[in-house]
Amino acid sequence: MSNYQTLLMAVDLSEDSHAVAAKAAALRDAYGATLHIIHVIEPLSFAYGGDIPMDFSGIQEEIHQQARTQLTAFGEKYGVTEANRHIVLGRPEVEIHALGEELGVDLVVVGSHGRYGLALLMGSTANGVLHGATCDVLAVRVGS
Nearer to ligand AMP by Cβ, of 54 and 120: the residue is: 120
Regarding 18 and contact with ligand AMP (CB under 6 A), the answer is: no
Regarding 124 and contact with ligand AMP (CB under 6 A), the answer is: yes
CB atoms within 10 A of CB 37: 25
Q: Which of 71, 80, 105, 110 binds ligand AMP (CB under 6 A)?
A: 110
Regarding 16 and contact with ligand AMP (CB under 6 A), the answer is: yes
Task: Provide, rounded to whole angstroms, the least separation between the CB of residue 53 and ligand AMP.
Answer: 26
The CB-nearest residue to ligand AMP is: 111
Regarding 39 and contact with ligand AMP (CB under 6 A), the answer is: yes
Regarding 37 and contact with ligand AMP (CB under 6 A), the answer is: no
